[in-house]
Structure 1
Amino acid sequence: MRRAVPVVVALAGLLLLAACGGAPASGPGSGPPAGPSAEKSLILATTTSTQDSGLLDVLLPEFTRASGWQVKTLAVGSGQALELGRRGEADVLLVHSPAAEEKFLAEGTAGDRLLVMHNDFVLVGPEADPAGIRGLGSVEAMRRIAAAQAVFVSRGDDSGTNAREKDLWAKAGVTPGGPWYQSTGQGMGATLRVAGEKQGYTLSDRATYLAQRDTLPSTILSEGDPGLLNVYHVIEMTQRAGDRVQSQGAAAFAEWIVSPPAQELIGRFGKERFGQPLFTPDAGKDEATVGG
């Protein structure tokens, strides 16, 4: 059972005291015996992009210093993160699948959903670009890839990236399938590596691609399309999802990640290494203006 109090350890300590002829202090002014204190620990279910880009390595230690809450991270696709929240197996979510998030909120087990940041998706592929998509808009690029039956590697994992990929195929009027369309069922970093090995195309968030660019043969071929905006929200879970949910920890994390210190960290992340930030902080903005 998650976060169980170590009763066996406490009992062993009492037996040791008895064996040594000692006993817990009692009497006026001594106060109650001190018991084991539960660690302030919460579970964050988030997307592989925040993990693979290195952003969490920057944010989480600062959150712990500021709040005292330790964080265990489950880096999965957004769909899986939402499912963990639905089952009460995560306390707070950091995800990027807006349509799925809105359906999830309507179920009534979550608390606040707050805008955190955005970046964008990019279509990457081999420098030789056999489908000829360089410089095209995302929808036309998908049509060209399908027409050429060039290898396309999908995450296929119900992530926010996978959801956006499906949306692009639908807009292109394409039902992908056959030997040229391959699925990894894995996160963004792994999918980028497979696409590179197969000299194929894939859809990636910009942050993960840039973080791994030096190890990949792939290059960005289509970018800047308004349809490729990638928006992240934090969602607090409540005990309506299950009595194990650490709602106080969830609220603390959500409040911190939209605070000025955290937003400043987000805005600086990537500048030194890549010459550009990998995410744009958005807390407090009107959602309709994001990316504008």
Structure 2
Amino acid sequence: MEFINKVLGSKVDWNKSEGLVSIFDRNSKIKMASTIGPIDAGIVGTLAQKFEEKTDVNVEYLGAGTGKALEMSKTGDFDLVMVHAKALEEQFIADGYGEERIAVMYNDFVIIGPANDPAEIKGRTVADALKKIMENEIKLVSRGDNSGTHVKEMELWEEAGLSPEGDWYIVWEGGSQGNSATLKYTNEQQAYTMIDRATYLALKNEITIIPLVEGEEALLNFISVIPVNPERFSQVNHSLAMAFIEFMTSEEGQTIIRDFKKDIYGEPMFFPDSTEWKNLSR
């Protein structure tokens, strides 16, 4: 199958039980593994649609937590990956699976909780807020799935010099469903959690918990794309993956990101962050 993949420049699957060979044309399609949040927010679909309209290239994307998205991309079945956990991304590249981290956009995380704020964290620093929640043993929901959100949460606990444990600390078994599902569950529990702002904005009319800690540099959430290494996987469509990346990081793509649903929520869901955009802004 690997030989056929190389000769045809397409992905070939063999279904042994049915005796069928399926050939997928990789010349007009790219596949991206992506962290779930930008998919749920709709920005991934919007960028994919705009690129398809310009190029007639179909963009397929599959959502998973960052850790799993990177693992999925180690198979050669995806041409690029969109993620938001720098340490995991750098390891993916160091291990030879990806070429480079390319900045696309960012937003921020907020610590969100019940409006009556039983731990009294509103306006505190992140470290103080986590300490208050832990000391008072007020329920906090963690995704616990090695997603970018979970990785950032663990970094914040470590920076605060704290190790969360106990019945109050809920490692939710449904965390791999993504931030939207986690936020809804946290609302049901009337607990605290850390979530990205885009997810909160998308669901704020459906929930009663509110942002209580925000605005620190440590809460920034940087989202990158990584082209899968064609020297490791000859079947990946590197040229089209790079074309999609060039579109996302171009002035046109970055303007789409800047303006995405801003008219609906009255504030940005994401901020442009590409090198080209920064150079334009100088």
TM-score by length of 2: 0.86
Q: Pick from 141, 147, 155: which aligns with 1:167?
A: 155
Residues 1:155 and 2:143 aligned together: yes
Residue 128 of structure 1 deviates from its aligned partner by: 1.0
Residue 206 of structure 1: aligned partner: 197
Is the alpha carbon distance of 1:214 and 1:183 closer, same or farther for their aligned partners in structure 2, counting shifts above 3 Å? Answer: same
Residue 119 of structure 1: aligned partner: 107
Residue 42 of structure 1: aligned partner: 30
Residues 1:192 and 2:183 aligned together: yes
Deviation per residue, 1:204-255 (Å, 9 max, x gap)? 0111111111111210000001110111111111233433322222112111
Residue 174 of structure 1 deviates from its aligned partner by: 1.7
Cα pair 2:249 2:276 within 8 Å, conserved: no
Residue 131 of structure 2: aligned partner: 143
Equivalence map 1:1-292=2 (5 Å): 3-4=11-12, 40-184=28-172, 185-186=175-176, 187-284=178-275
Per the alignment, in what secondary structure is the counterpart of residue 275 of structure 2? coil
The letter for the 2-side match of 1:150 is I
Residue 9 of structure 1: aligned partner: none
Per the alignment, in what secondary structure is the counterpart of residue 146 of structure 1? helix
Is the alpha carbon distance of 1:38 and 1:286 closer, same or farther for their aligned partners in structure 2, counting shifts above 3 Å? Answer: closer
- Structure 2's unaligned 5+ residue stretches are 2-9, 15-23
Per the alignment, in what secondary structure is the counterpart of residue 233 of structure 1? strand
TM-score by length of 1: 0.83
Q: In the aligned structure 2, how far is the partner of 1:58 from the partner of 1:254?
A: 14
Deviation per residue, 1:265-290 (Å, 9 max, x gap)? 00001211011111110111699x9x
RMSD after superposition: 2.2
Is the alpha carbon distance of 1:254 and 1:177 closer, same or farther for their aligned partners in structure 2, counting shifts above 3 Å? Answer: same
Q: Which moved more, 1:172-181 or 1:142-151?
A: 172-181
The letter for the 2-side match of 1:77 is G
Is the alpha carbon distance of 1:244 and 1:37 closer, same or farther for their aligned partners in structure 2, counting shifts above 3 Å? Answer: closer
Q: In the aligned structure 1, how far is the partner of 2:249 from the partner of 2:276?
A: 11
Is the alpha carbon distance of 1:107 and 1:215 closer, same or farther for their aligned partners in structure 2, counting shifts above 3 Å? Answer: same
Per the alignment, in what secondary structure is the counterpart of residue 121 of structure 2? coil
Percent identity, please: 37
Query: Which one has a bigger Cα radius of gyration?
Result: 1
> What is the aligned length?
259
Per the alignment, in what secondary structure is the counterpart of residue 71 of structure 1? strand
Deviation per residue, 1:86-124 (Å, 9 max, x gap)? 222221111111121112111223223211111111000
